[in-house]
Chains A and B, each alone.
Chain A
């Protein structure tokens, strides 16, 4: 345990920076729409982090919206039907997508790459139908459910927005520390061996099945947490549209742009893609912003195939900062 804390300490500096900078930003700037865009970035960085954690074990999901959506539905239902306060439901609800992650992971145990992608993608369609048809009475079918606020009612719109901003930021940083600790631990090493070579991992004594299931379960939980947080803060509503293809693709793009298989990459990637997107949307318009995003992603993968984070890390260590890049 002691060694794990020593390993995490290397990330504490980065975590402090990640928390401190946006918190400072809040002190000098309180434009509501910027606050909301950044809240969105924090929540979807958690989501991208969850995708990246599964990818770290070689399981590249194309259907993570399953977990995002189920986390949202479970948390909202727990707070509206079971009377749990949203702040608690938000952490209990994601146990459902964690369980679903375990099941999907089990179904995919013999699959890799595109084949695993196909099954995970298929899961979004199946879950969407189940939510709308089988559980329609509970979920209000295509109309969806309104979500109670995370923060106590009666706060002004501005105060609530600032509260959501800080809570999402804190959860993003906490998720970052958890992901970084996992990647640096024995578990992360096992994930890497499975990512690289399953046959050799087996031969070295790695319990491949167990670690693959662990990765999918953890990933399901964290994605569900992002979905719940999103529902209780930004959208205040959830509908079966959440299981669409877009929300399955975004975490993949964020992680690749930022730096696959690093705990910093998904956060940086989400920030860059979303901020450029929002800027382009406001300055240039809908079609143009799509072109800008497409072009930017193409340039990133062409010139920085390992994502933006390694470049940033190198620059930071050049400035004397203690940043430890690398895959673990």
Chain B
């Protein structure tokens, strides 16, 4: 069953077409990867789904609701949570309170007391056990991305939009990230994730959507995508230069 379905989603910034008539679908319980080079339109797609950007044309349906006319707070309350590629913590709130915000104002709509009791467990779950009063400024960039994930999970969402939460991880941390996403899959979470770390994408995704300069150039299982000539040419082909992502080895 399709939980999220986009039809002809188009978004331009000035003369630049960031998304050109993109069709996509995410089924309930599925983990879908969104890949493409810088400027492919990955983050713009996440922004249009979460309501941060309003598409110029097309429609996005989530569980029977048309999202393109809703504000980002309404979309969050419907059960779509997201992370930001550049972490956007609430700087004067503690890490714990950052999570409390999502518990209180997200789909879970918890009371403040319940949220404060629950928030610590979510930080533990993402592997970010912090001191009670720790402010975001005391966290490293990897920890801030974990905080983004914790905040998104706390919303009680049915669909997670993850925008490069795994950038800059060490090899060991990548293993942990894969395990964490596997755990989320066990719980039946639906995820659409932008990711550059191919080891993660290839291991956890059921399907992959490839964007290139605002166009969808391919869609399919990880294996099919790795062999797709258009993808290899536009994206994975970088490997020939010796600096591209390591697909075959994953």
Q: Which residues of A contact B (CB under 8 A)?
A: 3, 185-186, 189-190, 192-193, 195-197, 199-208, 261, 326-328
> In the bound complex, how far is the Cα of B84 from the Cα of A19, in angstroms?
47
Determine whether B155 belongs to the interface, using a CB cutoff of 8 Å to chain A: yes
Which B residues are in CB contact (< 8 Å) with A328? 93, 97
Residue from the list B92, B101, B112 in contact with A204, Cβ < 8 A: B101
Given known A-B contacts A195-B92, A197-B88, A205 and B111 have beta carbons under 8 A apart: no
Which residues B75-117 have CB closer than 8 A to chain A?
76-77, 81-82, 84, 88-93, 97, 100-102, 104-107, 111-113
The 10 closest A-B pairs by CB, nearest first: A205-B76, A202-B72, A205-B105, A196-B90, A200-B88, A205-B106, A3-B113, A206-B105, A205-B77, A204-B102
- Complex Cα distance, B101 from A186, in Å, reads 9
Q: A3-B111, A261-B92, A326-B133 are in contact. List 7 more A-B contacts (CB 8 A).
A: A189-B97, A192-B93, A193-B93, A197-B90, A201-B73, A202-B72, A205-B105
Interface residues of B in 135-165 (CB under 8 A from A): 151, 155
A205 touches B90 (CB 8 A): no
User: B51 interface residue, CB < 8 Å from A?
Assistant: yes
B183 vs chain A, min Cβ distance (A):
22
Closest approach, in angstroms, between the C-beta of A204 and any C-beta of chain B? 5
A200 to B88 alpha-carbon distance, docked (Å): 6
A200 to B81, CA, bound (A): 11
Among A195, A204, A261, max chain B CB count under 10 A is at A204
Give 22 A-B contacts (CB < 8 Å), ordered by A residue: A3-B113, A186-B104, A189-B104, A189-B112, A196-B91, A197-B88, A197-B91, A201-B73, A201-B101, A202-B52, A202-B71, A203-B76, A203-B84, A204-B101, A204-B102, A204-B106, A205-B102, A205-B105, A205-B107, A205-B155, A261-B92, A326-B133
Query: Assuming the A-B contacts A3-B113, A327-B92, are A202 and B76 also in contact, with contact meaning beta carbons closer than 8 angstroms in the complex?
Result: yes
Other-chain residue from A185, A196, A208, A327 in contact with B73 (beta carbon distance below 8 A): A208
Residue of B nearest to A327 (CB): B92
In the assembled complex, B44 has its CB within 8 A of some CB on chain A: no
Is B190 interfacial (CB 8 A cutoff)?
Answer: no
Query: Residues of A contacting B81 with CB < 8 Å?
Result: 203
Tell me, rounded to whole Å, the shortest Cβ–Cβ distance linking B224 to chain A: 33
Please give the distance in Å from B132's CB to the nearest CB on chain A: 11
Q: How far is the CB of B56 from chain A (nearest CB, A)?
A: 20
- Within B53-85, the residues touching A (CB, 8 Å) are 71-73, 76-77, 81-82, 84
Interface residue from B52, B107, B112, B133 paired with A203 (Cβ < 8 Å): B52
CA distance A200 to B102 in the complex (A): 10
Flag whether B43 is at the interface (Cβ < 8 A). no
Contact yes or no, B92 A189, CB < 8 A:
no
Q: Is the CB of A204 within 8 A of B151?
A: yes
Which residue on A lies nearest to B90, using beta carbons?
A: A196
Which chain A positions have C-beta within 8 A of B102?
204-205
CA distance A3 to B114 in the complex (A): 10
Q: Are A190 and B52 in contact (CB under 8 A)?
A: no
Q: Are B51 and A202 in contact (CB under 8 A)?
A: yes
Shortest distance between the CB of A5 and any CB in chain B (Å) = 12
Which of A196, A200, A201, A206 has most chain B Cβ within 10 Å? A200
Q: A286 to nearest B CB, angstroms?
A: 38
- Chain A residues near B133: list those with CB within 8 A: 326
**A325 vs B92: C-alpha distance in the bound complex, in angstroms?**
13
Say yes or no: is B166 at the interface (Cβ < 8 Å to chain A).
Answer: no
A190 with B88: CB separation less than 8 A: no
Q: Is B10 an interface residue (CB 8 A)?
A: no
For the complex, what is the distance from the CA of A327 to the CA of B135, rounded to whole Å?
12
User: Which of B82, B97, B112, B155 is packed against the most chain A CB atoms within 10 Å?
Assistant: B112
